[in-house]
Amino acid sequence: MVGSSSSHAERHMANVAKKSGVTQTIIEANVAEDGTVTLKGTIQKDAVNPIVLVNFDNN
């Protein structure tokens, strides 16, 4: 289930890291029940401390 409370908490922590200057890059990886991964966002080659939020559909 995408959008669970745990993914909301992780998104909040990632946004705090971004606000504090730890990173400027946050992307999401959604993993479907069949293992297919869909990325939302991009990571630039020179990104510092990028954060990837991983969401599992069947979690």
What distance in Å separates the CA atoms of residue 40 and residue 23, rounded to the nearest whole number? Answer: 17
**Per-residue pLDDT reduced to its tens digit, 11-57:** 999 999 999 999 999 999 999 999 999 999 999 999 999 999 999 98
What per-residue confidence (pLDDT) applies to 59?
A: 64
* H helix intervals, the chain: 5-19
Q: Quick one: 5 exposed, middle or buried, by C-beta within 10 A (0-12, 13-18, 19+)?
A: exposed
**Are 15 and 34 a contacting pair, CB within 8 Å?**
no
Predicted TM-score (pTM) of the model is 0.81
Return the sign of the alpha-carbon dihedral for residues 3, 7, 34, 58.
negative
Mean pLDDT of 2-6: 56
